[in-house]
Amino acid sequence: MTPDIWMLLAFGGFLIAGVPVAFSLALAGSVGIVAGLSPDMLATLGTNTYNSVAKYPLIAIPLFILTGLIFERSGVALRLVRFAQALIGPRHGGLALVAVLVCMIMGGMSGSGPADAAAVAMVMLPSMTKAGYPKPFSATLIAASASTAILIPPSVALILYSIVVPGVDLRALFAAGLFPGILAGLALLVPAMIVAKRYGWEGTPVEGAETLTVRTTFRQALPALFAPVLILGGLRSGLFTPTEAAVVAVAYGTIVGLFLTKELSLRDLWELLGEAAIISGVVMLIIALAGIFAWAGTMLGTFRHLAEWIIGLTDNGILLLVLVMLAVLVAGMLLDAISIYLIMMPVLIPVMQHFEWNPVWFGILLAMNIAIGQFTPPVAVNLMVTTEIAKIRLEETLGWALLFVLAMACALALVAIFPSIALWLPSVLGYNV
């Protein structure tokens, strides 16, 4: 067998054996280096891991993770829920609409699906259960809605995509993800409202919100609603770069929590710094160790051979795009977004260039696919979060998950057929697409 095959078989074997993705990548890369190059080349491991994380834009990832944690602890989700509930009022499917809207707004602060799902589920699940919504439905809807955080800026996944794919403007990616993210949220809302009306699930006001007016709840929610405006407005005006926007978001969230909502203390802030460091450490470890796999695959020509094989499957770009999307969807059911980008993009970049697919549009399609995977069993990271909070088994949500997978797949198909849904806004804003 060739060194390429040895490396790929080693990677698959380590994953099957239950070795974490990060270490599977590093060990498989080392196997490739020994089999195809020279054991002496193992001396490059330290350099490759360092070079993988020594990238300025990566600073934004831990900062946006910290932003999401700060807003979650600051009581922002509850204020958004109260405002949305006061605005919509009690009606069939009212709380389902509130859940989707709040998830989308929270996604515009955290950029992380699991963090979004946790924050909204803790506030919404008790109210939805009291209003008659089954826990499996509520948990699945929140998990699916939280997956839009991977599309709506700032998105941690899109930040990584802009680093992996050379020449892609992160501001263009952020702008391109906005309308597909909204479209995905609407696609989830349609079946949720239909089902709620069919079964007569009546939305009731969130506890304590009966006496609150739209004006009062809007005033309380204003700091949270202003956060996405601050981030996107600053990027559009050129006031700060995406990395600097993450710093601004952390500072703004801290001010909101300490002085406006007053639900965040200095002790809480210190704990959140530690929590963000742990989460970021996991992310950075994957990125660092994936550098070994990427370097070995490049030196051995593994990625080039795989890309040539994929291109050789068919000359029909549309058919191949469908096959790629299905492959990414399956990967999204098993792996996290960061691992998928690091593993698959070295192979997909030559394919994308061969068929002249727009890299910004292609990045959004990948993100939508990965978003679907976040609430599709067996792994379903978002769904694991919400089912744990709801105290139900993951298997109970399977039927609802398939319904929402179908709904978001329709949104994905629309973006694939009409690229202008993603590309119109960055073009209008003058970004390079």
- Rounded to two decimals, what is the model's pTM? 0.86
Instruction: Say what the pLDDT of residue 209 is.
Output: 46
Asked if residues 98 and 83 have their Cβ atoms less than 8 Å apart, the reply is no
DSSP states of 176-200 as a string? Answer: HHHHHHHHHHHHHHHHHHHHHHHHT
What the block records as the tokens of 364 is 């959004």
253-258-262-267 Cα dihedral, nearest 10 degrees: 110
What is the pLDDT at residue 415?
Answer: 96
pLDDT on residue 202? 62
What percent of the chain stands above pLDDT 90? 22
Say what percent of the chain tops pLDDT 70. Answer: 96
CA of 210: how far to CAs of 65, 87, 147, 216, in Å?
33, 12, 30, 12
Statement: residue 200 has pLDDT above 90:
no
- pLDDT score for 294: 86
Q: How far apart (Å, rounded) are the C-alpha atoms in residues 300 and 7?
A: 10
Q: Which of 66-75, 139-148, 198-207, 298-307 has the highest mean pLDDT?
A: 139-148
What is the mean predicted confidence (pLDDT) over 288-295? 87
Q: Which is higher by pLDDT, 182 or 167?
A: 182
Give the mean pLDDT of the chain.
85
Q: What are the φ/ψ torsions at residue 225 (nearest 5 degrees)? A: -65, -25
What is the rounded distance in angstroms from the CA atom of residue 278 to the CA atom of residue 253? 19
In this prediction, residue 71 carries a pLDDT of 82
CA distance 369 to 313: 21
Query: Which has more pLDDT, 269 or 109?
Result: 269
User: DSSP string covering 293-327, please?
Assistant: HHHHHHHHTHHHHHHHHHHHH-S-HHHHHHHHHHH
Q: How is residue 13 annotated by DSSP?
A: H
* Average pLDDT of the segment spanning 357-386: 88
Residue 383 scores a pLDDT above 60: yes
pLDDT at 210: 55
Average pLDDT over residues 99-121: 81
Q: Which residues lie closer than 8 Å to 328 by C-beta, 6 or more apart?
A: 340, 344, 366, 369, 370, 373
Q: Which of 175, 177, 82 is closest to 124 using CA atoms?
A: 82
**Residues paired with 214 in a beta bridge:** none
d(CA 400, CA 419): 29
Predicted confidence at residue 206, as pLDDT, reads 46
pLDDT band for position 177 (50/70/90)?
very high
The residue assigned the tokens 């299905």 is: 326
pLDDT in tens, 209-254: 455 678 888 888 888 888 888 887 887 777 888 788 888 888 998 9
Give the residue-averaged pLDDT of 47-60.
Answer: 84
If you average pLDDT over residues 121-145, what whole number do you get? 89
Half-sphere exposure of 143 (CA within 13 A, CB side): 33
Torsion angles phi and psi, residue 265, rounded to 5: -105, 170
Residue 368: is its pLDDT beyond 90? yes
Does residue 100 carry a pLDDT above 60?
yes
Domain ranges of the chain: 57-428
